[in-house]
């Protein structure tokens, strides 16, 4: 009987230790992510902010559609896809402008930005046509 109680205590201690260690791991992971991200250059952080804003707008639109209904479906589609599209194009720009990316080191950032503007132009032309 004593033995079984001791086993149960050992199991409980083991589980608590695992939970504590995963909690500590999560905290350590969070800290290292934060510190690694803080080291990225400001230009890239601005692009990331823009991307986050676009995704946030898309989420707001989806929530609105869930509340109000999807009647002019083409407007909903064009709104959400324009937000998602600008986010993706921002990611592409970030990839091309990032100095750590060895594949794009001979691409001048002005060319990357010009491509970004062109693609956005086409995207928004299509959006305005589809908005209805």
Asked whether the beta carbons of 79 and 61 are under 8 A apart, the reply is yes
Q: Determine if 131 is a binding residue for another protein (CB under 8 A).
A: no
Nearest-CA neighbor of 93 among 49, 44, 37? 44
* DSSP symbols for 2-27: HHHHHHHHHHHHHHHHHHHHHHHHHH
Question: Using CB under 8 A, which residues numbered 42 to 71 contact another protein?
Answer: none
Among 28, 49, 59, 60, which residue sits at the site for another protein (rule: CB under 8 A)?
Answer: 28
Per DSSP, which regions of 39-87 are E strands? none
Binding site for another protein (CB under 8 A): 22, 25-26, 28-29, 32-33, 36-37, 39-40, 73-74, 77-78, 81, 84-85, 88-89, 91-93, 95-96, 100-101, 103-104, 107, 112, 115-116, 118-119, 122-123, 126-127, 129-130
């Amino acid at each position: 009987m004593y033995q079984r109680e001791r086993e149960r205590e050992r199991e409980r201690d083991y589980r608590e230790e695992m939970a504590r260690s995963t909690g500590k791991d999560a905290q350590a992971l969070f800290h290292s992510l934060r510190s690694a991200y803080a080291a990225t250059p400001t230009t890239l952080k601005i692009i990331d902010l823009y991307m986050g804003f676009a995704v946030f707008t898309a989420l707001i639109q989806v929530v609105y559609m869930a509340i109000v209904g999807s009647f002019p479906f083409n407007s909903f589609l064009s709104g959400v896809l324009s937000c998602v599209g600008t986010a993706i194009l921002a990611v592409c720009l970030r990839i091309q402008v990032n100095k750590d990316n060895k594949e794009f080191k001979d691409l001048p950032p002005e060319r990357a930005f010009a491509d970004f503007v062109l693609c956005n132009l086409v995207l928004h032309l299509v959006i305005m046509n589809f908005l209805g």
